[in-house]
């Protein structure tokens, strides 16, 4: 069994080392209830928790977090310290970076880019 760092275990209250695995494409940590496809990339400090899903050729890198029931798919990129949470959707060629936060039922798609300290919440749709 891999040595799961405490900061990873603390992401899900009561989780144990056997609840986590490193994604084979990038080595980021994935919680047992989350699903990440083999074509997706989740790197070392990135985390996928809850019932989140990362599919297609999506990339979750840096210190990014995908959690809740969020979906990141297509060729989307989530980088930096960005958080995708709730029922949020990031798809197509969208980019979310910096300290951006996408939550609720918000959607970011097409070639849209959300960055910096931006907050996209509720039922907001961002597209380009």
Q: If you average pLDDT over residues 61-83, what whole number do you get?
A: 98
Domain presence at residue 30: yes
Domain presence at residue 43: yes
Place of tokens 């069994």: 1
Domain presence at residue 87: yes
Higher pLDDT, residue 1 or 51: 51
Domain range for residue 68?
6-127
Domain presence at residue 19: yes
Residue 45 is encoded by which pair of tokens? 């400090």
What single string gives the DSSP state of each residue in 48-82? E-TT-EE-TT-EE-TT-EE-TT-EE-TT-EE-TT-
Domain presence at residue 71: yes
Q: What does pLDDT average to over the chain?
A: 95
Q: If you average pLDDT over residues 71-75, what whole number do you get?
A: 98
State how many domains the chain has.
1
Domain presence at residue 12: yes
Alpha-carbon gap, residue 84 to 65, rounded angstroms: 6
Question: What is the tens place of the pLDDT at every residue in 19-31?
Answer: 999 999 999 999 9
Confidence at 1, pLDDT banded by 50, 70, 90:
low
Domain presence at residue 1: no
CATH number of residue 23's parent domain: 2.160.10
Domain presence at residue 93: yes
- Exposed / middle / buried, residue 81 (Cβ in 10 Å: 0-12, 13-18, 19+): middle
Place of tokens 């009561």: 14
């Amino acid at each position: 069994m891999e040595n799961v760092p405490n900061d990873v275990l603390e992401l899900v209250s009561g989780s144990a080392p056997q609840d986590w695995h490193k994604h084979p494409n990038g080595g980021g940590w994935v919680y047992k209830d989350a699903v990440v496809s083999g074509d997706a990339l989740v790197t070392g400090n990135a985390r996928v928790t809850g019932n989140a899903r990362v599919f297609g050729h999506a990339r979750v890198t840096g210190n990014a977090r995908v959690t809740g029931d969020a979906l990141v798919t297509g060729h989307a990129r989530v980088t930096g310290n960005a958080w995708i949470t709730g029922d949020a959707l990031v798809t197509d060629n969208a980019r979310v970076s910096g300290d951006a936060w996408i939550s609720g039922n918000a959607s970011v798609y097409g070639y849209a880019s959300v960055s910096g300290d931006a907050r996209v919440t509720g039922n907001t749709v961002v597209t380009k």
